[in-house]
Amino acid sequence: MSNPLLQNFNTPFSTAPFSKIKPEHFKPAFIEAIKLAKQEIENIVNNPKTPTFKNTIEALEFSGQKLERISSIFFNLNAAETTSEIQKIAQEISPLLSEFSNDITLNKALFNKIKKLYLQKDDLNLSTEQLTLLTKNYKSFVRNGANLNDKDKAELRKIDTELAKLKLQFGENVLAETNAFELHITHKDQLKGLPESVVEAAQITAKQKSKSGWIFTLDYPSYIPFVTYAEDRELRKEMAIAFGAKAFRNNKYDNQNVVLNIVKLRHKRAQLLGYKTHAHFVLEERMAENPDNVNLFLEDLLKKAKPAAESEFKTLSEFAKKDGVKKLEKWDSAYYAEKLKKKLFNIDQEKLKPYFKLENVINGVFTIAHKLYDLQFEEVFNIDKYHNDVKTYKVTDTNNRFIAVLYADFFPREGKRNGAWMTSFKNQWIKDGENSRPHISIVCNFTKPTNTKPSLLTFSEVTTLFHEFGHALHGMLANTTYPSLSGTSVYWDFVELPSQLLENWCYEKEALNLFANHYKTNQLIPTTLIDNIKQSANFLEGMQTLRQLSFGILDMNWHGKNPTNITNVKSFETEAFKNTQLFPDVATNCMSTSFSHIFQGGYSSGYYSYKWAEVLDADAFEFFKEKGIFNKQVAQKFKNEVLSKGGTQKPMELYINFRGKKPTNNALLKRAGLLK
Ligand SMILES: [Zn+2]
């Protein structure tokens, strides 16, 4: 029987034929597609003609397309509609895929051809996009050591193996330390202040451990509500100190040496590849470009946000004083912040939800996309989908030209990951004069409708939908020649601009008036509620900012300097924190030993990007605010210079083309109420 994954998709818009695909089709399809891709690369390598951009870089770019297509279908399913069968296949094929990508990275003959082209790049008469593609290809080899001699190559592999082990160990230690602690409560009055659902969860945890009463752990879903709501200050203290001491207890799960080894090996690796520090290596492929830019960015924000943070800290301290707290400590922060917020704003999510019926919000976001970018959305029923809940839309422009297919998958179910994300089933590219349009998908986990009630979103779900839809616009409006530079394939600290930018419309009366009608009475959302949402969004923004900055600064300290002489993790950290510290230090606590973002995950020299993205979206939105949030010229500029350009050019250049100038921190500081 033939494998539908290996045939041409004879479907509307060549969409994935989900109804025909069975799990057993995947593995043979992967094997065949890898074979095909290998052959295509062999053909490039064995081409006797002098390498040209077309016969090498472009040929490489358009090789392995079948594999790309099958991969995106498979991994999207594994995220949104998985089964044990799919998971087993994932286990089986991931070694095949990493072997294939290693074969490419280590292919000397291929690298030599690319290098030859790269060295004469200025004489090849390339377009900006082509030059970006050539550089990207060349760098992907070089950053993996392709230019090193055999001895250094071996050294690099050794470091990489070692680093992989250390990162794994770091994570295992944090996990072991997280699990090593539990707060066992047996008296009901110690639960005072905690919401019912949190108490219930703690009871279930206790039952699972065959214990009576309630158990709280250092896992976020247990820890965060506990320190936010528990009235018992001593217990909050116990929890907070246990949380801060993770992997810093001089036991076998201690991460101090792991941290030191990781930063030293990263530094060594960077130097081997010719970079000054690990941060220089990482930031070369970021919008921020280098550590100096990141440090200046963080320092400027710090200087401007600190006075606000200090005054908020004072306010919070005064507020807690009325409750008998003489000195505000770390374990008081979330608790009194929540109390004060309630007192000042008293936002009732249940009162907001009726204004955000899912269907209305979807129509709202579609209307906004129409007003800004001339897009039209038509729900269609002739496209195959992987689950009945999924909705499919044909997206066109006002001249009825086909722009994209949009899938929307809103409700939770077994087999779907938590959270919300945007992804694609097919990239966009231009080949042989044809603009092949993308298939974009947004996946969320919103409250399902019941027989009596429609799906009503919380305000944070509304912003989530706008966020993912902003990414989707980036994908749908893509208009580049090469698929690997298309849509959201941009530098890491630039990718959140379209998504976060669109969130801004959720706070604007002019936008909310388009869709925020009460689902029963059809009444528009009251202005007072909107104002309330806006103000509460900025609550204690100075302190929050300082906290984010402190993590970014710590990260840059670990990775932006030569770490050879660092011997003591805690004192190094204390020094890095000295300008951002509001609360008294706890000697038995250490942040770095459980800072998984930078020591286990992919955020090393990248923590700044959270704030960076906020600065970009605030600065970009300020442009809209100046000219009107539905101003066509500004929107067209954003579409033409950013959304459609993907990663074809340096992000700062794209941004300046849109905005007319570099972004500054001021719009964010103003929006956050930190700048007078
Ligand atoms: Zn995002």
**Residues 23-58: pLDDT tens digits?**
999 999 999 999 999 999 999 999 999 999 999 999
Distance 326 CA to ligand 1 centre (A): 41
- Report the side by side order of strands in the sheet with 391-397: 375-379, 391-397, 402-409, 439-443, 421-426
Distance 12 CA to ligand 1 centre (A): 29
Between CA 246 and CA 586 the distance in angstroms is 13
Distance 500 CA to ligand 1 centre (A): 7
Distance 461 CA to ligand 1 centre (A): 13
Which residues surround the ion ligand 1 when the cut-off is CB under 5 Å? 499
Would you call 464 helix, strand, or coil by DSSP? Answer: helix
pLDDT of residue 601: 85
Write out pLDDT tens, residues 57-85. 999 999 999 999 999 999 999 999 999 99
Give yes or no for residue 347 having a pLDDT over 90.
no
Residue 538 DSSP label: T
pLDDT of residue 350: 82
Write out pLDDT tens, residues 257-288. 999 999 999 999 999 999 999 999 999 999 99
Cβ proximity of 602 and 180 under 8 Å? no
- Report, as an integer, the average pLDDT of 97-125: 96
Residue 655 in tokens: 């941004």
Distance 451 CA to ligand 1 centre (A): 32
Write out pLDDT tens, residues 419-466. 999 999 999 999 999 999 999 999 999 988 988 899 999 999 999 999
Cβ proximity of 431 and 409 under 8 Å? no
Distance 470 CA to ligand 1 centre (A): 8
pLDDT of residue 530: 87
Q: Which of 468, 508, 541, 614 is catalytic?
A: 468
Give yes or no for residue 348 having a pLDDT over 80.
no
Distance 503 CA to ligand 1 centre (A): 11
DSSP assignment of 322-369: TTT-SS--HHHHHHHHHHHHHHHT---HHHHGGG-BHHHHHHHHHHHH
- Report, as an integer, the average pLDDT of 99-113: 94
Cβ proximity of 616 and 494 under 8 Å? yes
Give yes or no for residue 353 having a pLDDT over 70.
yes
- Report, as an integer, the average pLDDT of 98-120: 95
Which residues 6+ apart lie within 8 Å of 638 measured at CB? 372, 501, 620, 658
- Report, as an integer, the average pLDDT of 142-150: 96
- Report, as an integer, the average pLDDT of 460-480: 97
Cβ proximity of 476 and 366 under 8 Å? no
Cβ proximity of 488 and 469 under 8 Å? no
Distance 668 CA to ligand 1 centre (A): 18
φ/ψ region of 438 (left if φ > 0, alpha if ψ in -120 to 50, else beta) reads beta
Query: Is 468 noted as a catalytic residue in this protein?
Result: yes
Which of 357, 594, 613, 660 has its CA nearest to residue 494? Answer: 613
More confident residue, 418 or 549: 549
Angle of helix 108-119 versus helix 26-45 axis, rounded to 10: 50
pLDDT of residue 333: 96
Cβ proximity of 461 and 364 under 8 Å? no
Mean pLDDT, the chain, integer: 96
Residue 277 DSSP label: S
Give yes or no for residue 103 having a pLDDT over 80.
yes
Distance 370 CA to ligand 1 centre (A): 21
Cβ proximity of 639 and 620 under 8 Å? no
Cβ proximity of 510 and 481 under 8 Å? no
- Report, as an integer, the average pLDDT of 134-158: 96
187 class by beta-carbon count within 10 Å (0-12 exposed, 13-18 middle, 19+ buried): exposed
φ/ψ region of 25 (left if φ > 0, alpha if ψ in -120 to 50, else beta) reads alpha
Between CA 560 and CA 278 the distance in angstroms is 6
Give yes or no for residue 1 having a pLDDT over 80.
no
At 351, the pLDDT band (50, 70, 90 cuts) reads confident
Distance 617 CA to ligand 1 centre (A): 12
pLDDT of residue 676: 65
Give yes or no for residue 210 having a pLDDT over 90.
yes
- Report, as an integer, the average pLDDT of 532-558: 95
